[in-house]
Amino acid sequence: MRRNSGESFVLLASACLVMLACGVIPLGFVFFYSVHDTFAGNDFLFVGGQWFWQVFNAPEFQWALLRSLLFSVLVLLVQIPLGLWVALRLPKSGILASVLVVAMAVPLLTPALVVGYLWKVLALPEAGLLTNAAAIIGLGLDMNSKLVTWTVLLLMDAWHWTSLVVLLAYAGLKAIPDDYYRAARIDGAKPWAVFRYIQLPKLKLVLGIAVLLRFMDSFMIYTEAYVVTRGGPGVSTTFLSHELVQTATIQFDLGEGSAMAVIYFAVVVCVSVLFYRQVSLGEVQS
């Protein structure tokens, strides 16, 4: 480890400058708006915690926050085990494995709007593929039902992002040396024991990254869900980001919207702190 603050400063300068301009300063604006009231967009009056008080007491915000948390938890409950299962069964090498990996990555590179559109047409009444598949097993796909819309959104998110978990876990599995498995075979270990005492501990790092990324990205879902359900039926799929966009850009309540954004940011920081140990610098693990 070299200790040369001058050199490291030069190396870091450009990245820090870009992050300052495109991250820290805009975030500063949000913090500023969140404690000010504005008249005609250029006179700002300090109002302290008024917006925060208002936001916290608004049932719309409380429900949207709860819905977003519930959605993220369900996303993790579905995608982490499913992704892990697929990764465990994927051969370590071979043509089939490479083809499957390439195909799996396709949903990850699908623009958010296209994902939303795709799932909207999949759930079309009469002609939708999903509607017809549900009909075969005797289910009606009524998009006016809250349960159905939530299921469709969860399926959509699983389609879009489970592969991220698969590929992360697969990368972790490939890194386990064969000696570990050989030793386990000599000891006569059952498949479950191999999973519990060899694979799972070795996957801790990549699964940590997977949980963190999946939590954050599902917690901020906007475009896909909006295209499919427009927040409905009623407000049953109006998530935190929809509430925020509605407040800040459609009603143009800058203060209230920014207060929401600050609370959102606080959640992000808290969750990141929880996971930081898992996903931090490479040297820490080794």
Partner 1 sequence: MSEKRFPLVPVIYTALLMLPVYWLVTMAFKTNGEIAGRLTLFPEAPTLRHLKLIFTEKAWWMGYVHALIYVCMNVVISVGVALPAAYAFSRYAFPGKRPLFFGFLVFRMMAPVILLVPFVQIFSDLDLYDTHIAVALAHCFFNVPIAVWILEGFISSVPREIDESARIDGHSLWSFFRRILIPQIGPGIAVTAFFCFMFSWVEFLLANALTAVAAKPISGIMTRAGGVLAGDFGLLAAASVVGFIPGVICIVLVRKHLVRGFSMGRVA
- Asked whether position 231 contacts partner 1 by CB under 8 A, the answer is no
Is 23 or 234 the residue whose CB approaches partner 1 more closely? 23
User: Tokens 């109006």 appear where?
Assistant: 238
Residue type, 65: L
Residue 111 in tokens: 């623009």
In angstroms, the CA 33 to CA 262 distance is: 10
Closest contact distance (angstroms) between CB of 212 and partner 1 is 7
Quote the DSSP letter at residue 138: T
Of residues 49, 70, 81, 91, which one binds partner 1 by CB under 8 A?
91
Of residues 69, 198, 235, 245, which one binds partner 1 by CB under 8 A?
245
Residue 204 in tokens: 């801790």
Residue type, 270: C
Within positions 54 to 83, which residues make up the interface with partner 1, using CB under 8 A?
Answer: 82
Beta carbons within 8 Å of 172's beta carbon, 6+ residues apart: 202, 203, 205, 206, 207
Element at 39 (helix H, strand E): strand 36-39
In angstroms, the CA 31 to CA 24 distance is: 10
Of residues 33, 51, 61, 71, which one binds partner 1 by CB under 8 A?
33
Within positions 252 to 281, which residues make up the interface with partner 1, using CB under 8 A?
Answer: 254, 257-258, 261, 264-265, 268-269, 271-272, 276, 279-281
The candidate with the shortest Cα–Cα distance to 218, out of 73, 109, 72, 115, is 72
In angstroms, the CA 206 to CA 215 distance is: 14
Q: With CB under 8 A as the contact rule, which of the stretches 43-51, 54-62, 69-77, 243-251 interacts with partner 1?
A: 243-251
- Asked whether position 159 contacts partner 1 by CB under 8 A, the answer is yes
Q: With CB under 8 A as the contact rule, which of the stretches 4-12, 50-58, 72-80, 138-146 interacts with partner 1?
A: 4-12
- Decide: 217 and 108 in contact? Cβ < 8 Å: no
Residue 82 in tokens: 């499913």
Of residues 66, 81, 92, 187, which one binds partner 1 by CB under 8 A?
92
Closest contact distance (angstroms) between CB of 112 and partner 1 is 5
Is 163 or 237 the residue whose CB approaches partner 1 more closely? 163
Within positions 168 to 197, which residues make up the interface with partner 1, using CB under 8 A?
Answer: 168, 170-172, 174-175, 181, 185, 191, 194
- Asked whether position 14 contacts partner 1 by CB under 8 A, the answer is yes
Of residues 66, 105, 193, 274, which one binds partner 1 by CB under 8 A?
105
